Amino acid sequence: MSVDQQISEYYDKLLKRNAGEPEFHQAVSEVLDSLKIVLGKDPHYADYGLVDRLCEPERQIIFRVPWTDDEGQIQVNRGFRVQFNSALGPYKGGLRFHPSVNLGIIKFLGFEQIFKNSLTGLPIGGGKGGSDFDPKGKSDREVMRFCQSFMTELHRHIGEYRDVPAGDIGVGAREVGYLFGQYRRLSNQHESGVLTGKGLSWGGSLVRTEATGYGLVYLTQEMLKTHNESLDGAKVIVSGSGNVATYAAQKVQQFGGTVVAMSDSSGYITTPNGVDLELLRDIKENRRERIHVYAEECDGVEFVERGNIWEVPADVALPCATQNELDGDSAKLLADNGVRYVAEGANMPCTPEAIHFFQDSKINFAPGKAANAGGVATSALEMQQNASRDSWSFDYTDERLHAIMSNIFKNVEKTAKEYDREGDYVAGANIAGFKKVADAMLAQGVI
């Protein structure tokens, strides 16, 4: 059977076994595409049912999360934890609280996480979890009661050597605090290594908050360097205005670039002279307001309700909001407006059509698996500090993050070259991430 036939058989089987999960199909399809190149050269990676095993989570946990709202009414949400692959280390990946969350979304995120974590070079497996709970518009007490109920079930499935969750969309410092508090109460132990993204006084790591955004920009800068360019003087679009977007924007500004637009789910703002991040954080984090408030409080800033942020002229685009936020038409808009570099801060923000367009039009494109790995890498550094009862300085941790991101880029670039796909960072990331996990799975037998 040809490699193409083999891959389409894997994919057909996956579609049948995982009906109604389009995001999961999309994530697997992209990796399988790259595996065609690997299997053509190294057919042993198809032995022992390796590809089928890789696409099937080791364990999927779905649970009821009942909680009481401020009016005394009982609310019921659904909780998920998908423990996808632990060949390289304990399952590691964030929790997402958002009304769109379902099993397919958690599986896509967990699947991506396997390769991302592998690329960091650190001993962590892949997992992801979350709930269809929407923290927006809820009081602090409601969020706390929800987190406590969520952890009351989740705590039996996690642990320092088993599974170490963290934050993601809708799960920031506040939620991690409530989750950790309930874990500590139920387990009667201060097991710092069970969650990452903790507060600094109780086991958290400096730089973890900034890590995904900073890491994204470190990797983007490496990509520009290969073309003798730099972020200094570049115009950059950063979509979103949450954790990843905020710190990506900060690092872009530190490197001399100008952030010309940012967004949230209500629309985007244009900021031709750069963003005042202190004001933005105050509006989004403290006041928990929508982004139009920024335009109201800042001269020369325009708010475009429900507009397409990718229509703003720029040199570099960093999608940092959510999956499939940048489609084929937006990719063409970006190219027409001068964008030559795209790096994914969010998980799978570019649709397959957008990625094919970038590749065909020689726009340099760094996939999220590589580009946003800085968050989980620093989570693994937090675990190292917890295990050694130590806490590192900001500069030392940031240096480690910077070195990890540079290594990821070099590894991805080198792997793409080795497989005759020079400049194809999607293939480079998928293949490099895959081979490390695959080698471990083959060595550990059929389990």
Name the one range near ligand NDP by CB under 6 A: 39-47, 229-237, 327-335, 344-352: 344-352
Residue 322 interacts with ligand NDP (CB under 6 A)?
yes
State the minimum distance, in angstroms, from the CB of residue 9 to ligand NDP. 30
Q: In this structure, are residues 82 and 128 in contact, taking their beta carbons and an 8 Å threshold?
A: yes
State the minimum distance, in angstroms, from the CB of residue 359 to ligand NDP. 21
Amino acid 196 reads: T
As a whole number of angstroms, the distance between CA 106 and CA 288 comes to 26
Count the neighbouring beta carbons within 10 Å of the beta carbon of residue 424: 21
Look at strands 302-305 and 267-270 and give their pairing: antiparallel
State the minimum distance, in angstroms, from the CB of residue 375 to ligand NDP. 3
State the minimum distance, in angstroms, from the CB of residue 263 to ligand NDP. 5
> What is the contact mask toward ligand NDP in residues 385 to 404, using x (rule: CB under 6 A)?
--------------------
103: Cβ contacts below 8 Å, ≥ 6 apart: 21, 60, 62, 80, 82
Q: Which residue lies nearer to ligand NDP by CB, 243 or 271?
A: 243
Residue 110 interacts with ligand NDP (CB under 6 A)?
no
Q: Which residue lies nearer to ligand NDP by CB, 248 or 437?
A: 248
Q: In whole angstroms, how large is the CA radius of gyration of the chain?
A: 21
Half-sphere exposure of 341 (CA within 13 A, CB side): 26
Q: Which residue lies nearer to ligand NDP by CB, 55 or 350?
A: 350
State the minimum distance, in angstroms, from the CB of residue 223 to ligand NDP. 18
Half-sphere exposure of 322 (CA within 13 A, CB side): 14
- Which tokens belong to 4? 């193409």
Tell me whether residue 435 is one of the annotated catalytic residues. Answer: no
Q: Which residue lies nearer to ligand NDP by CB, 83 or 152?
A: 83
Site for ligand NDP in 323-342 (CB under 6 A): 325
> What is the contact mask toward ligand NDP in residues 8 to 37, using x (rule: CB under 6 A)?
------------------------------
State the minimum distance, in angstroms, from the CB of residue 221 to ligand NDP. 18
Phi, psi of 384 (to 5 degrees): -65, -45
Number of residues binding to ligand NDP, judged by CB under 6 A: 25
Site for ligand NDP in 42-101 (CB under 6 A): none
As a whole number of angstroms, the distance between CA 140 and CA 137 comes to 10
Q: Which residue lies nearer to ligand NDP by CB, 10 or 375?
A: 375
State the minimum distance, in angstroms, from the CB of residue 273 to ligand NDP. 21
As a whole number of angstroms, the distance between CA 437 and CA 121 comes to 11
According to DSSP H, which parts of 302-422 are helical? 328-336, 352-360, 368-371, 374-387, 394-418
Q: Which residue lies nearer to ligand NDP by CB, 14 or 101?
A: 101
User: Exactly one of 345, 367, 428, 433 binds ligand NDP (CB under 6 A); which one?
Assistant: 345
Site for ligand NDP in 204-263 (CB under 6 A): 212, 239-245, 263
Give 76-132 as a DSSP string: EEEEEEEEEE-SSSSEEEEEEE-TT--HHHHHHHHHHHHHHHHHTTSS-EEEEEEES
> What is the contact mask toward ligand NDP in residues 150 to 189, using x (rule: CB under 6 A)?
-----------------xxxx-------------------
Write b or e for each residue in 217-240: b if 16 or more Cβ atoms lie within 10 A of its Cβ, otherwise e. Answer: bbbbbbbbeeeebebeebbbbbbb
User: Exactly one of 93, 203, 375, 428 binds ligand NDP (CB under 6 A); which one?
Assistant: 375
Set 92, 116, 128, 235: catalytic member:
128
Site for ligand NDP in 292-321 (CB under 6 A): 320-321
Would you say the C-alpha torsion 24, 81, 405, 272 has a positive or negative sign?
positive
How many angstroms from the chain centroid is the CA of residue 366? 13
CA angle 249, 379, 155 (to 5 degrees): 125
State the minimum distance, in angstroms, from the CB of residue 389 to ligand NDP. 24
Q: Which residue lies nearer to ligand NDP by CB, 170 or 203?
A: 170
> How many secondary structure helices (H) and strands (E) does the chain include?
16, 12
Residue 120 interacts with ligand NDP (CB under 6 A)?
no
Residue 346 interacts with ligand NDP (CB under 6 A)?
yes
Count the neighbouring beta carbons within 10 Å of the beta carbon of residue 385: 19
Residue 130 interacts with ligand NDP (CB under 6 A)?
no
Give 390-403 as a DSSP string: ----HHHHHHHHHH
User: Exactly one of 85, 152, 258, 347 binds ligand NDP (CB under 6 A); which one?
Assistant: 347
Give catalytic residue positions: 128
Per CB under 6 A, residues contacting ligand NDP are 167-170, 212, 239-245, 263-266, 320-322, 325, 345-347, 372, 375
